[in-house]
Amino acid sequence: MYIGRFLLLTLIIAIAFLSQTSCTPKQQQFEWQIPPGFPLPEVPANNPITQAKVNLGKALFYEPALSGNRAMSCATCHDPAHAFSEPKALSSGSTGKILQRNALALVNVAYNSNFTWAHSGLSSIEQQMMIPLFSESPIEMGLSGQQYEVIKRFQTEDYETLFEQAWGDKTITLDRMVKSIASFVRSLTSFDSPFDEYAYRANDDALNESELRGLDLFFSERLECFHCHGGFNFTQSSKHEFQPLDLRPFHNTALYNEDGVGSYPLRDQGLYEQSLNANDMGRFRAPTLRNIEYTAPYMHDGSVATLRDLIQIYADGGRETGVTSPIKSPFISGFELTQQESDDLLAFLHSLSDKKFINNPSHHAPINPPKVN
Partner 1 sequence: MPAFNGACMLLRHIISLDACKMSVADNYYQVLFIEENVNKILYLPSALSLQKLSKSILIGMTAMVLMSCAEDTTQDHLSKQKSIQQQLLTKVVYGEHALTCDNEFIHHNILWQANSLGFFLSNFEMREEQSDTWKKISLEVNDWQTPDTALLWFVANCGAKEGFNKTLTLNLPLQDKQSFTNIAQLRFSMSVPFEVNHANPLTQPSPINLAEMFWSWRLGHKFFRIDMSTMDQPNKTAIWNFHLGSTGCSSASSLRAPVKECEQSNRNTYTVNVGDNASNLLMLDLKILLEGINANRETSCMFKAEQLSACNNLLSKLRHSSLFRIAAKKSKDLSNTSQESGQ
Query: Which residue type occupies 232?
Result: F
Position 39 contacts partner 1 (CB under 8 A): yes
> From the DSSP assignment, how many helices (H) and strands (E) are in the chain?
14, 2
Q: Which is nearer to partner 1, 171 or 340 (CB)?
A: 340
Position 362 contacts partner 1 (CB under 8 A): no
Residue 96 neighbours by CB distance under 10 Å: 11
The residue within the footprint of partner 1, chosen from 25, 145, 260, 366 (CB under 8 A), is: 260
Q: Which is nearer to partner 1, 76 or 253 (CB)?
A: 253
Residues 237-249, buried b or exposed e (16+ Cβ, 10 A)?
bbbbeeeeeeeeb
Q: Which is nearer to partner 1, 153 or 227 (CB)?
A: 227
Cα separations in angstroms, 238 against 96, 108, 123: 33, 9, 12
Q: Which is nearer to partner 1, 100 or 333 (CB)?
A: 333
Position 265 contacts partner 1 (CB under 8 A): no
Phi and psi for 157 in degrees, rounded to 5? Answer: -60, -40
Shortest Å distance, C-beta 82 to partner 1: 25
Query: Within positions 185 to 224, which residues make up the interface with partner 1, using CB under 8 A?
Result: 198-200, 204, 212, 215-216, 218-222, 224
Q: How far, in Å, CA of 339 to CA of 250, rounded?
A: 30
Q: How far, in Å, CA of 159 to CA of 289, rounded?
A: 36
As to burial, measured by CB atoms within 10 angstroms (0-12 exposed, 13-18 middle, 19+ buried), residue 98 is exposed
Q: How far, in Å, CA of 97 to CA of 138, rounded?
A: 7
Q: How far, in Å, CA of 188 to CA of 210, rounded?
A: 29
Position 33 contacts partner 1 (CB under 8 A): yes
Position 88 contacts partner 1 (CB under 8 A): no
Task: Please name every residue paired with 79 in a beta bridge, in sequence order, or none if there are none.
Answer: 85
Phi and psi for 53 in degrees, rounded to 5? Answer: -65, -40
The residue within the footprint of partner 1, chosen from 158, 160, 192, 246 (CB under 8 A), is: 246
Position 130 contacts partner 1 (CB under 8 A): no
Stretch that binds partner 1, among 98-106, 180-188, 231-239, 303-311 (CB under 8 A): 231-239
Shortest Å distance, C-beta 67 to partner 1: 34
Shortest Å distance, C-beta 126 to partner 1: 18
Query: Within positions 2 to 21, which residues make up the interface with partner 1, using CB under 8 A?
Result: 2-3, 5-21
The residue within the footprint of partner 1, chosen from 161, 208, 279, 306 (CB under 8 A), is: 279
How many residues of this chain bind partner 1 (CB under 8 A)? 68
Residues 6 or more apart whose CB falls under 8 angstroms from that of 260 comprise 321, 324, 326
Q: Is 225 helix (H, G, I), strand (E, B) or coil?
A: helix
Residues that bind partner 1 (CB under 8 A): 2-3, 5-21, 23, 29, 31-40, 48, 198-200, 204, 212, 215-216, 218-222, 224, 226, 230-232, 236, 238, 241-249, 260-261, 277, 279, 326-327, 330, 333
